Amino acid sequence: MDNKFLKDFLWGVAASSYQIEGNNSNSDWWEWEKQGKADNESGLACDYWNRYMEDHDLLTELGVNIFRTSIEWSRIEPEEDVFSEEAIKHYREIFQDLKKRNIKTQVTLWWWTSPIWFQKKYGWHKKASIKIFAGYVKKVTQELGDLIDMFTVFNEPMVPLGQGYLAGAFPPGFCNPCKFIRAVNNIARAYKESYKIIHKIRPDAQVGITYLYNWYESEGFGLLLRTINRIAQWYRIDLLGNKIKGFQDYVGINYYRLGKIKFNQKNIKMDSRNQIYFGFTIEEDKNNVMKWITYPEGIYKVLKEAGVKFKLPIYVTENGGPTRAGIEDKDRIKFINEHLVFVHKAIEEGIDVRGYNFWSLMDNLEWLYGYDPKFGLIEMDYKTLERKPRKSFYAYKKIIAANGLE
Ligand code: BGC
């Protein structure tokens, strides 16, 4: 069997703006951190905002042909209806630099963070959010659209909506199912509006969304557990996906782990941080820094399922695993190899997978968990901001150069 990928397969890495840029005091996440609701304040993060050239040099060395990144709405529109020419110019410079290096840009327009004014005055549960977000999308498409190869309107919106409207763990911090349903509907409508706006300005653009698409399995064969498993699948993909049918040019799949659901009547409180959902818990790997169970075969199962469900070109927009500082990089190398074997298998069986992005280029801010989990091919020294490529960086570089596994 040949382990090579298609000739124009897109090999990349992903990293979101808030998690790497640093110093974004206009963002609702910045405020959330200041209220002590996350393990670390992001501070300078990786200071990508100022050091992007250095990171792009590393992208060039890695040999990627695509970089999946994002734009901070709160930098572009720091106050309602006030757009920052300076921030737009800065993003232009960043994307132009990637273009010069022949690296395609896949740009997400909303990666979980919003401007403080939006969160205070509106929020996704308010109908006005649709129009307001559409205004921002129009502006960035007009100003930056010529430098964007693939648009991703939202990154995994069901994650921040669940965390922000059911678990109270992300901004705006609600535990309110009615508001949650309203927010899901508004996000769906904002997505469809954005899709139309982008296509009107850039008819040839590729526009899509990403889903957190882990593989869920329940322990045992009881009817209840099977039903719960179906509900988990419906929640993560179909609840939103069904509302935006016909408005996706491709589908982005973010695959991380196996979610093995168990029933635990002792824990009926919702606690998303400890993975407890109204009496159901997700099995844990005690040795993993985020307790996640690595399951390479799951990416194959997910790709097969998504191929049938969406009938669209698929990009693996994120795939990676957290490790602890300084150790376990060999696990990252193993992780990449094993997952790619299964991506390749899905392609061989006819699934239209056109690209793979490893999460992440470098260690970065892991939302509530701060700087402890390390996801990077590049180790970040947060004191000196020195970037040190790990062995896995060179292992992935070799795979990209060979367009597949040895
Ligand atoms: C998100 C990233 C996050 C990663 C690891 C993904 O679901 O898009 O922002 O850092 O998972 O948890």
Q: Given the structure tokens 């349903």, which residue do they identify?
A: 181
User: Ligand 1 mean position to 178 CA, how many Å?
Assistant: 26
Nearest CA to ligand 1 atom 12: 366
C-alpha 201: how far from chain center:
25
Cα gap 209→199, rounded to integer Å: 14
What are the residue ranges of helices labelled H in 202-238?
223-233
Q: Do β-strands 276-277 and 104-110 pair in parallel, antiparallel, or remain unpaired?
A: unpaired
Q: What angle in degrees, to the nearest 10, is found between the helix axes of 177-201 and 158-165?
A: 150
One-letter amino acid identity for 262?
K
Task: Walk along the chain (406 residues) and give the pLDDT tens digit of each residue.
Answer: 578 999 999 999 999 999 999 999 999 999 999 999 999 999 999 999 999 999 999 999 999 999 999 999 999 999 999 999 999 999 999 999 999 999 999 999 999 999 999 999 999 999 999 999 999 999 999 999 999 999 999 999 999 999 999 999 999 999 999 999 999 999 999 999 999 999 999 999 999 999 999 998 877 667 877 787 788 889 999 999 999 999 999 999 999 999 888 877 677 777 888 777 777 888 899 999 999 999 999 999 999 999 999 999 999 999 999 999 877 899 999 999 999 999 999 999 999 999 999 999 999 999 999 999 999 999 999 999 999 999 999 999 999 999 999 8
Atom of ligand 1 nearest to the CA of 155: 8
For residue 104, report the distance from its CA to the centre of ligand 1, in Å: 21
Classify each residue of 163-180 as buried b or exposed e, where b means 16 or more C-beta atoms within 10 Å of its C-beta: bbbbbbbbbbbbeeeebb
Distance from residue 222's CA to the centre of ligand 1 (Å): 31
- Quick check: 38 and 370 in contact, CB under 8 A? yes
| Ligand 1 binding pocket mutation candidate from 13, 318, 332, 335 (most atoms within 8 A of CB) | 318
Residues lining ligand 1, Cβ inside 6 A: 16, 155-156, 212, 254, 318, 359, 366
CA of 213 to the centre of ligand 1 (A): 11
User: How remote is the C-alpha of 209 from its chain's centroid?
Assistant: 10
The pTM of this model reads: 0.97
Query: Which H helix or E strand runs over 65?
Result: none
